[in-house]
Chains A and B, each alone.
Chain A
């Protein structure tokens, strides 16, 4: 194995004065690839070594200005444009309210730039440096002063430079040997890193799978948020109440606000417990059209649009041979032609046999409108040409 290559010399000095003096001489002798090392910043060494002011302040100024623009732009766009909402009467973008965040972002970017910029300009981190392999150099961070000259410098000469350093007042001069240990990371570190990287990929992969894949069971819900709440849901059972229901019935005779109807006939279809006849309000074109619309929606599906009891539900039920199916009444049935309007209203309201109540779906006045339309429908089966408007009579000659 040949002798290790020379990286440079390190010369040690006892105090600040001799360090500064020596640094000045090294610089004046035309060396460029040299540096002075001390445990603390030595004042007065910059001019001696000819170190020019760093550009760091300009980088930081740039970062500060960038921060200002970014912060103002971000706040303007986010609150003023992209997601604009009014809050406590403040303008969408008001400069006074934008200043604190702008200020903080300026400082944030400037501080990061200061730190990162300092490291970058100093070419740090640099974990492998031949100087650290020089035994005497260890005390440079404690109580010793040193000047290092690299062999790569044009003026470097193995003998002459050593002599020269001796002349500058160095107490000790050390050879600094080039780092001949293999460059790069040890194999085991590389392998471990790769394994770690592979393992690190698992969680994001799982997340992606959960997010974009399809599955029949509910997704895993890591944070249940408010999924489980100690409360009773609609129509569920409850052990608290005697009747075993979680829902409470309203007090007997309760009427919802705004739903109390003064006119008994209009509300129930009865007058003094007897079915009433006629309508509680005037039937005009509008009511009739409304009645027809409601009828077509709610009644027609079973009773048929023509009222003959052959609506699509009924037809399908019969075609399926449903044994229990009771066909809907033919509304043109003789019996129904004479039933009082009040009773028809009551049937719609409360249902009859297996026809359900429609009071939940059709409002009171609409039910009367349906009754009115039903009367018109019944009348239409017994109509002759004279019943038609004059201009339509011609069509039925």
Chain B
């Protein structure tokens, strides 16, 4: 390594964004308004409540998976004692910080399910529960009260983890106590375990049981792959935004983008690997109770969405991110980050929506209102958390290593 640049410790004032709270408030208000609009649309439109529930689930899971990606990133950086990532870790902490609120937003779909509304989760439908033999078998797991308990556990675990790690990280900015890092390092391993289990069962409960006949053991890993990918894309975009604003100027360097790009590339491949494994095994096994799920996604407009995923979520970004030059070019990398965030949305849309409109893709105003509404709440939360707090962990013991980091 031949770094000739002199690295200065970042000044607190420079790296602390201000004026974000007001904008955050704006986002929150706009988000609330859009959520209200979605609600109204859902109530007045024909079959709107059903559509509303699906759109709401899509919007909330999208931002929850982002938050879970953030939580994963934070935990793993501590777990492996990573040095390079310190300068981008705070942003991941802020993203993960949205988890408690986003978790609460699950209640509007869990509560109707609890009361026997089968619009979203067909297994909750009272009639279906009587006539389906399969549901008799699955009743110990698929029932309203247990679902509520489980969701509360997931959100509770996430809240605990997020608070434990974010608080200590922020506290270290003031105290500089390395013991805090040590605390987080030792707690990271069991936390990752809790994370893995909650993410898996969250994805089972919220997404897999939309079609209660279908099951896939890899499903949790599939959602994890998408979540992590979305987080790396988000980190690229946030880094670039704050670099332009000035807070991260000279702190997040091409080297960090390069590393984020490599992770983005790796997870594009990982997602493709997991998605292919799931598809190939079900295609080859050819058992009706499994293939019906893919068959439903290979009719009408859904076939197009499936192909868009194949190319947009895997093949094209794989080729696009292969080159070192792309990963080191902020503009190109941001472009791919945006594309992959969109693809993550398409992925979730493809998982959720065929139960709403099996005949084909039907995007309505209600989808957009929900997505932007929840997105507003998410961004509002992130911005308010970021306001007035240093955007890099100022006294992290490995900050210097991260600042001076260079790819070989």
Is there contact, CB below 8 Å, between B280 and A43?
no
B217 at the interface (CB under 8 A from A): no
Report the bound CA distance from A99 to B1 in whole Å.
Answer: 40
For residue A53, which residue of chain B has the nearest CB?
B324
Report the bound CA distance from A148 to B1 in whole Å.
Answer: 24
| Chain A residues whose CB sits within 8 angstroms of the CB of B283 once the complex forms | 94, 96
For residue A61, which residue of chain B has the nearest CB?
B322
Is there contact, CB below 8 Å, between B408 and A99?
no
Return the CB mask of B277-289 against A: 1 if under 8 Å, else 0. Answer: 0011001101000
For residue B286, which residue of chain A has the nearest CB?
A89
A44 at the interface (CB under 8 A from B): yes
Which one of B2, B276, B279, B280 contacts A44 once the chains associate, using CB atoms below 8 Å?
Answer: B2
For residue B323, which residue of chain A has the nearest CB?
A57
Interface residues of A in 38-54 (CB under 8 A from B): 43-44
Is there contact, CB below 8 Å, between A96 and B408?
no
Q: How many residues of A are in contact with the other chain, CB < 8 A?
A: 8
Nearest chain A CB to B244's CB is how many angstroms away?
Answer: 30
| Chain A residues whose CB sits within 8 angstroms of the CB of B286 once the complex forms | 89
Is there contact, CB below 8 Å, between B2 and A96?
no
| Chain A residues whose CB sits within 8 angstroms of the CB of B284 once the complex forms | 90, 96-97
Nearest chain B CB to A170's CB is how many angstroms away?
Answer: 22
Interface residues of A in 56-108 (CB under 8 A from B): 89-90, 94, 96-97, 99
Report the bound CA distance from A71 to B256 in whole Å.
Answer: 37
Is there contact, CB below 8 Å, between B280 and A96?
yes
Is there contact, CB below 8 Å, between B279 and A96?
yes
For residue B1, which residue of chain A has the nearest CB?
A43
Interface residues of B in 1-36 (CB under 8 A from A): 1-2
Nearest chain A CB to B218's CB is how many angstroms away?
Answer: 15
Interface residues of B in 273-310 (CB under 8 A from A): 276, 279-280, 283-284, 286
Interface residues of B in 242-280 (CB under 8 A from A): 276, 279-280
Report the bound CA distance from A43 to B408 in whole Å.
Answer: 8
Report the bound CA distance from A61 to B408 in whole Å.
Answer: 21
For residue B324, which residue of chain A has the nearest CB?
A57
A96-B284, A97-B284 given; A43·B276 CB < 8 A = no
Return the CB mask of A4-47 against B: 1 if under 8 Å, else 0. Answer: 00000000000000000000000000000000000000011000
Report the bound CA distance from A44 to B284 in whole Å.
Answer: 51
Report the bound CA distance from A43 to B1 in whole Å.
Answer: 6
Is there contact, CB below 8 Å, between B280 and A99?
yes
Report the bound CA distance from A89 to B285 in whole Å.
Answer: 11
| Chain B residues whose CB sits within 8 angstroms of the CB of A44 once the complex forms | 1-2
Nearest chain A CB to B171's CB is how many angstroms away?
Answer: 38
Nearest chain B CB to A86's CB is how many angstroms away?
Answer: 14
| Chain B residues whose CB sits within 8 angstroms of the CB of A96 once the complex forms | 276, 279-280, 283-284
Return the CB mask of B76-103 against A: 1 if under 8 Å, else 0. Answer: 0000000000000000000000000000
Report the bound CA distance from A96 to B310 in whole Å.
Answer: 12
Nearest chain A CB to B4's CB is how many angstroms away?
Answer: 10
| Chain A residues whose CB sits within 8 angstroms of the CB of B1 once the complex forms | 43-44
| Chain A residues whose CB sits within 8 angstroms of the CB of B2 once the complex forms | 43-44
| Chain A residues whose CB sits within 8 angstroms of the CB of B279 once the complex forms | 96
- With A44-B1, A90-B284, A96-B276 known, 4 other A-B pairs at CB within 8 A are A43-B2, A94-B283, A96-B283, A96-B284
CB pairs A–B below 8 angstroms (17 shown): A43-B1, A43-B2, A43-B408, A44-B1, A44-B2, A89-B286, A90-B284, A94-B283, A96-B276, A96-B279, A96-B280, A96-B283, A96-B284, A97-B280, A97-B284, A99-B276, A99-B280
